[in-house]
A and B are shown apart, each in its own frame.
Chain A
């Protein structure tokens, strides 16, 4: 779908992006990860030609973006920035309708699409359609921001630190919604973040960058377990346990999970969730008990915090 070949960007005498190549398959989520100044945002902005590359080629569906009309190109690519990028003088409805209007959709089609998106993002159209961004919370603003990028249903979505300015709780919630949204599941997404958690949670593959170069590109598990060099290994050092919990799904250690004895039925969670998510659920829902129901193929296991950690230890030992 998206092929980047030997792309370099120089600003005056500094090299921001240094001959990188990668490709993103259709429907895949690629996360560009790295510290500030590593070139990840520059890379993203070259994809929709906000920054023209100094050399190299970027192809979307086989077409070289450098040779396309930039305005048309950008209208066909969803673009999400941090949440202060909504047009403050437009209502929620008008913000979402931006690209459909540029594409001259008829009014009914636009209204229908706006309503549909608001519902999907859990914003009641009756309440929010005519609100201005300043009247919304940060989380609501970012939902609208995402809806705006999705409005014309672009096959490719570029996201630049989309959750960067939200508080941790809102961030976790929106990330969850984001993952569950059917609109996203079929899209090819390139996302920039400096948050390792976020990268591991959302990325099918993670592209770790440093000083304009790609250090390693691969699934979260690959980066964690088979680091290509010292930089990659060091990068995940501090959060290794958490990240590992994030790369393992409950169903992978289903057999090892002990059933909690005297539990009251608590929340349900899918076996596709990671260990980390299950632990988070337990941690956040203090009032509803200390156990979580895990469902797999119709079977349910009621598990406690300790149960999950025991299973993880057993799993780890078995692999060693």
Chain B
């Protein structure tokens, strides 16, 4: 994707996808909203009548609300797999609290004298509820629905992590790919949707009491219609389902390259790399875009498919450091280079495996490794300046971050500030550029395709030659950003397509070409 492309150009070019994502997003929001109203309003009315249950019901809803949304989505995977069902379930649980709480508050907030008048005049419980309490509580109930809608529009972006689609695909793709246009193409419509629905509902909420009756009658219809957006037919193809990260979906050395070079056309969902291996292992998806050194390869008994046409460029890891820091602390560079050439693919896979499968902490893994290689040294005590180490948000980076941290403390008098887990490439790179971190481990392929983004001919010319790519990237970073690539650590964490070993055996799929043929058959 050329960097020069304008935002509007991007939107026009991607308008089909954008429309589909927007409709999916609206669908996700309203299917879940529909269920939360269906359950939440009666539950709110129930606890308003039976007060002794109110604490427990509101308590549970409150706890649900406090679970971080990405964690809640994570919990859903083992239970409900990936795709719309867990996404809608999670959104439903989020929307529940405002709906229940506002219904409860609205009903209990009706003036006691008015309730007594209704009872005293001979209304039954249901008559009082329907004729008096619900209409009077309606503005408060609607406010709850309004809150739930806005929450849902926001949280629904995360649905892209578990293959449920929506505008999150563009947002996370944009972050991962350092593509501002893509990011905005997801974020702006999401924000507009939130504002739009908020506005509509606030209108409804402040309508004259009189018009509620029609407004309220229309609400379920509108919610259902909007929900049905989710049912629009989606792209279909093979029976095999691929789960690709937002980053992979949009990269020329990712799905775009697979389509162009191999002619692979398969059913895909967008999914977060945090849960994709597990989803693959649990047979929710059949192919994922993994990293070749990932410990879960070993843990989940997965195989990588051979890149027989060579579309994945080399991804040799090396620390990228701000030149200013290296000049300020000359002792730093030799220390950071201590890891150079030390960790090959299989060692890195093993280290990752220890974290992902054996659940060892990155600190322990880093320390064990350094001790085994006689590199570990007692901290010298800091006080002569500090270095901020950033890492991306996956296992390998945490481990590398810890190793660098221990090396710096052991061999220099510098302090270390760890800023681990900085989302994708875009976030790390921007942090480095904007003097928020001093260094982070980066990969040559990423530096090439995500940051420098040279013309396609250039990429082709560099091809799979790891040294050429390193030199090109190191040169480009130095010239354009005044950032220095230190010596490569040794392993090549390239993109790879992965399958379950068992399925790969059954289908006789060993290479990406095999996969393409297999998919085309069906």
Whether A and B are associated in the same complex: the answer reads: yes
Chain A positions within 8 Å of B, measured between CB atoms, are 48, 50, 71-76, 79, 81-82, 84-89, 98-99, 102, 132, 148-149, 158
B 118-158 contacts with A by CB, 8 A: 118-124, 127, 131-132, 135-136
The docked-state distance in angstroms from the alpha carbon of A158 to that of B119 is: 14
Can you list 26 contacts pairing A with B, beta carbon distance less than 8 Å?
A50-B116, A50-B119, A71-B123, A71-B124, A74-B119, A74-B120, A75-B121, A76-B122, A79-B120, A81-B113, A81-B116, A81-B117, A81-B120, A84-B111, A84-B114, A85-B111, A86-B117, A87-B117, A87-B131, A87-B132, A89-B135, A89-B209, A98-B121, A102-B127, A149-B121, A158-B120
Asked if A102 contacts B113 (CB within 8 A), the reply is no
Asked if B136 contacts A102 (CB within 8 A), the reply is no
Chain B residues with Cβ below 8 Å from A50 are: 116, 119-120
Knowing A89-B135, A89-B136 touch, does A102 contact B116 (C-beta < 8 A)?
A: no
With both chains docked as a complex, state the minimum distance between the C-beta of B209 and any C-beta of chain A, in angstroms: 4
With both chains docked as a complex, state the minimum distance between the C-beta of A307 and any C-beta of chain B, in angstroms: 45
Chain A residues with Cβ below 8 Å from B127 are: 102
The docked-state distance in angstroms from the alpha carbon of A76 to that of B119 is: 13
The docked-state distance in angstroms from the alpha carbon of A84 to that of B116 is: 11
Chain A residues with Cβ below 8 Å from B124 are: 71
Knowing A102-B127, A132-B209 touch, does A87 contact B114 (C-beta < 8 A)?
A: yes
Asked if A79 contacts B121 (CB within 8 A), the reply is yes
Knowing A87-B132, A88-B136, A89-B209 touch, does A102 contact B114 (C-beta < 8 A)?
A: no
The docked-state distance in angstroms from the alpha carbon of A139 to that of B131 is: 25
The docked-state distance in angstroms from the alpha carbon of A75 to that of B212 is: 27
Asked if B120 contacts A75 (CB within 8 A), the reply is no
Asked if B120 contacts A48 (CB within 8 A), the reply is yes
Asked if A102 contacts B118 (CB within 8 A), the reply is no
With both chains docked as a complex, state the minimum distance between the C-beta of B259 and any C-beta of chain A, in angstroms: 59
The docked-state distance in angstroms from the alpha carbon of A43 to that of B114 is: 20
Chain B residues with Cβ below 8 Å from A48 are: 120
Measured CB to CB, the nearest residue on chain A to B119 is A50
Chain A residues with Cβ below 8 Å from B114 are: 84-88
Known: A74-B120, A74-B122, A75-B122. 9 other contacts (CB 8 A): A73-B122, A76-B122, A81-B117, A87-B136, A89-B209, A98-B121, A102-B122, A148-B121, A149-B121
- Scoring A76, A88, A99, A158 by chain B CB atoms within 10 A of each residue's CB, the highest score goes to A88
Measured CB to CB, the nearest residue on chain B to A145 is B117
The docked-state distance in angstroms from the alpha carbon of A76 to that of B122 is: 8
Chain B residues with Cβ below 8 Å from A82 are: 113
- Scoring B120, B121, B124, B127 by chain A CB atoms within 10 A of each residue's CB, the highest score goes to B121
With both chains docked as a complex, state the minimum distance between the C-beta of B338 and any C-beta of chain A, in angstroms: 76
The docked-state distance in angstroms from the alpha carbon of A86 to that of B118 is: 9
- Scoring A88, A89, A158 by chain B CB atoms within 10 A of each residue's CB, the highest score goes to A89
B 176-224 contacts with A by CB, 8 A: 209, 212
The docked-state distance in angstroms from the alpha carbon of A81 to that of B117 is: 7
The docked-state distance in angstroms from the alpha carbon of A92 to that of B209 is: 14
Asked if B120 contacts A87 (CB within 8 A), the reply is no
Asked if B116 contacts A85 (CB within 8 A), the reply is yes
The 8 closest A-B pairs by CB, nearest first: A75-B122, A74-B122, A85-B117, A79-B120, A85-B113, A89-B209, A89-B135, A71-B122
With both chains docked as a complex, state the minimum distance between the C-beta of A163 and any C-beta of chain B, in angstroms: 15
The docked-state distance in angstroms from the alpha carbon of A36 to that of B229 is: 61
Measured CB to CB, the nearest residue on chain A to B111 is A84
Asked if B209 contacts A99 (CB within 8 A), the reply is no
Asked if B121 contacts A74 (CB within 8 A), the reply is yes
Asked if A87 contacts B116 (CB within 8 A), the reply is no
Chain B residues with Cβ below 8 Å from A76 are: 122
Measured CB to CB, the nearest residue on chain A to B209 is A89
Measured CB to CB, the nearest residue on chain B to A158 is B120
The docked-state distance in angstroms from the alpha carbon of A81 to that of B118 is: 11
With both chains docked as a complex, state the minimum distance between the C-beta of A145 and any C-beta of chain B, in angstroms: 8
With both chains docked as a complex, state the minimum distance between the C-beta of A141 and any C-beta of chain B, in angstroms: 12
Chain B residues with Cβ below 8 Å from A86 are: 114, 117
Measured CB to CB, the nearest residue on chain A to B123 is A102
Measured CB to CB, the nearest residue on chain A to B132 is A87
The docked-state distance in angstroms from the alpha carbon of A152 to that of B317 is: 87
Chain B residues with Cβ below 8 Å from A148 are: 121
- Scoring B117, B123, B124, B209 by chain A CB atoms within 10 A of each residue's CB, the highest score goes to B117
With both chains docked as a complex, state the minimum distance between the C-beta of B337 and any C-beta of chain A, in angstroms: 76
Asked if A87 contacts B118 (CB within 8 A), the reply is yes
Asked if A99 contacts B135 (CB within 8 A), the reply is no
Asked if A84 contacts B113 (CB within 8 A), the reply is yes
The docked-state distance in angstroms from the alpha carbon of A89 to that of B212 is: 10
Asked if A102 contacts B209 (CB within 8 A), the reply is no
The docked-state distance in angstroms from the alpha carbon of A74 to that of B119 is: 8
Chain B residues with Cβ below 8 Å from A84 are: 111, 113-114
The docked-state distance in angstroms from the alpha carbon of A73 to that of B122 is: 7
The docked-state distance in angstroms from the alpha carbon of A76 to that of B121 is: 8
Asked if A99 contacts B121 (CB within 8 A), the reply is yes
Knowing A88-B136, A99-B122 touch, does A79 contact B117 (C-beta < 8 A)?
A: yes
With both chains docked as a complex, state the minimum distance between the C-beta of A269 and any C-beta of chain B, in angstroms: 36
The docked-state distance in angstroms from the alpha carbon of A48 to that of B113 is: 15
The docked-state distance in angstroms from the alpha carbon of A98 to that of B127 is: 11
Measured CB to CB, the nearest residue on chain B to A99 is B121
The docked-state distance in angstroms from the alpha carbon of A28 to that of B186 is: 76
With both chains docked as a complex, state the minimum distance between the C-beta of B203 and any C-beta of chain A, in angstroms: 18
The docked-state distance in angstroms from the alpha carbon of A72 to that of B135 is: 24
Chain B residues with Cβ below 8 Å from A75 are: 121-122
The docked-state distance in angstroms from the alpha carbon of A223 to that of B156 is: 74
Chain A residues with Cβ below 8 Å from B118 are: 87
Measured CB to CB, the nearest residue on chain B to A101 is B131
Asked if A72 contacts B122 (CB within 8 A), the reply is yes
Chain A residues with Cβ below 8 Å from B122 are: 71-76, 99, 102
The docked-state distance in angstroms from the alpha carbon of A39 to that of B409 is: 80
- Scoring B111, B120, B127 by chain A CB atoms within 10 A of each residue's CB, the highest score goes to B120
The docked-state distance in angstroms from the alpha carbon of A132 to that of B113 is: 17
- Scoring A50, A82, A98 by chain B CB atoms within 10 A of each residue's CB, the highest score goes to A98
Chain B residues with Cβ below 8 Å from A132 are: 209
The docked-state distance in angstroms from the alpha carbon of A89 to that of B137 is: 11
Measured CB to CB, the nearest residue on chain B to A48 is B120
With both chains docked as a complex, state the minimum distance between the C-beta of A215 and any C-beta of chain B, in angstroms: 27
The docked-state distance in angstroms from the alpha carbon of A192 to that of B425 is: 76
With both chains docked as a complex, state the minimum distance between the C-beta of B439 and any C-beta of chain A, in angstroms: 64
With both chains docked as a complex, state the minimum distance between the C-beta of B52 and any C-beta of chain A, in angstroms: 17
Measured CB to CB, the nearest residue on chain B to A102 is B122
Contact with A along B33-75 (1 / 0, CB 8 A): 0000000000000000000000000000000000000000000
Knowing A85-B114, A88-B136 touch, does A102 contact B121 (C-beta < 8 A)?
A: yes
